[in-house]
Amino acid sequence: MSARTATTRVAAVDLGAASGRVMAARVGPDLLELTEVARFANTAVRAGGTLHWDVLNLYRSILDGLRDAGPVDSIGIDSWAVDYGLLDADGRLLGNPVHYRDSRTDGVIERVLRQVPPERLYATTGLQLQPFNTLFQLVAARDTAQLAAARTLLLMPDLLAYWLTGEIGAERTNASTTQLLDVNTGTWAAELAGQVGIPAGILPPLREPGQAVGVLKADAGLGPVQVTTVASHDTASAVVGVPARGERFAYLSCGTWSLVGVELDRPVLTEQSRAANFTNEIGVDGTVRYLRNVMGLWLLQECQRVWRDDDVEPLLRAAARCAAFRSVIDPDDPVFLPPGDMPARIAEACRRTGQPVPGTPAETVRCILDSLALAHRAAILDAQRLSGREVDVVHIVGGGARNELLCQLTADACGLPVLAGPVEATALGNILVQARALGAVGGELADLRKLIRDTQPVRRFEPQGNDADWAAAAARLTR
């Protein structure tokens, strides 16, 4: 039996900001079967005044999940971006990685921009300014004993792959989120790092999606399984998992964050793009993910945490009955970034802008979803204007594809059909890059997306309502 007709079995480790899971899949030329074998919490821990990731608990949960997955031909790991661990000269981890929502980066952007003009920073890295970008985290840690002792920086998926295999490297799609990668050359921006006091020597060799990392070490207790580099930034894997036809599509990878943009062949580094705070991140097969970060369902998740209500469906049904556009907020206001009492912060934002304060959880949820749909609309309009790429359809993938009210509101706001699904786009993108590396599926990105279209359910939402109402609501946010 040839490699292209054989069935391959792989495991995807997919880590989000709130939870992680291990997915097992059977893949062949006409086959794509996905099974969740383990799910576990990813809970931040505050200690000594700093918000950390509990990375050892994550690693243990991953090993347990891989055991549950059974025999596989390959393992791939993806996660959220920007966060990292530092290794000493012996290859030991120097403390728990710090969470990107920690306050240590407050005011750091302004310090960096006094050293590096924003125009030069954008021309080099192509990234939007976000306080949690790795560059700013490292500047915040610049005078610490930990950074002084560091010999290697590993982003989260690369750290976990290092523990599994003993091999050091940095996968390129995730490296492109750090604001330390030169988007023009695809190499580390060593001169930039040095200018802001970051030792460029800690940045490891780069590797590509689909490259073999190494074989599991004996102490993992799982046998000699290959670990394959995937698009280890979860959004990069999610974009692989978008079941698009052709290139006239926008994608919306919707979960804790909404990553909204278009797929291009080259970065957009104009002054207009910089001013609009668009980012150019590397995708699979040399593509560019031209996108804007929108705060996303974090707003709703934090409200549910405060309300102690895990059942979102009754909240969504009640929100659908609430009046549209009663109150809208800017989801990307920095006040909403840290954990805390989100309903109170939303109420204060409405009060500050002279709008009715939501009086019930349902009204708060409707405020959030109307506001997210407006942010999606703005990002897609801007992406088309700045890139010259016209869009005929919006693909929503990730957990937000389950949120029917948000999908419909996004279709209404954009005036475009929305295709929602697959929910597991990130895991599917992870799996298909592994399967392609093993020769089990076709070689082009279009082939991978066709296999997803042929095997995964997608729901269509047609735009309804009046565009003038959305334009008027959007105008309220710019006053």
Question: What residues are annotated to the active site?
Answer: 234
Q: Of 358, 461, 467, whose CA–CA distance to 405 is shortest?
A: 461
Three-state secondary-structure class, residue 166: coil
Q: Which residues contact 120 (CB under 8 A, 6 or more apart)?
A: none
Q: Are 381 and 223 in contact (CB under 8 A)?
A: no
CA distances (Å), origin 63, targets 33, 53, 66, 183, 449: 22, 17, 5, 34, 30
> ω before 422 within 30° of 0 (cis)?
yes
Q: Of 270, 290, 271, 272, whose CA–CA distance to 280 is shortest?
A: 290
Q: How far apart are CA 232 and CA 398, in angstroms?
A: 16
Angle at 157 between CA 20 and CA 23, to 5 degrees: 40
Q: For the chain, how are helix, strand and coil distributed in percent, rounded to 5?
A: 40, 20, 40
Three-state secondary-structure class, residue 312: helix
Q: Are 437 and 210 in contact (CB under 8 A)?
A: yes
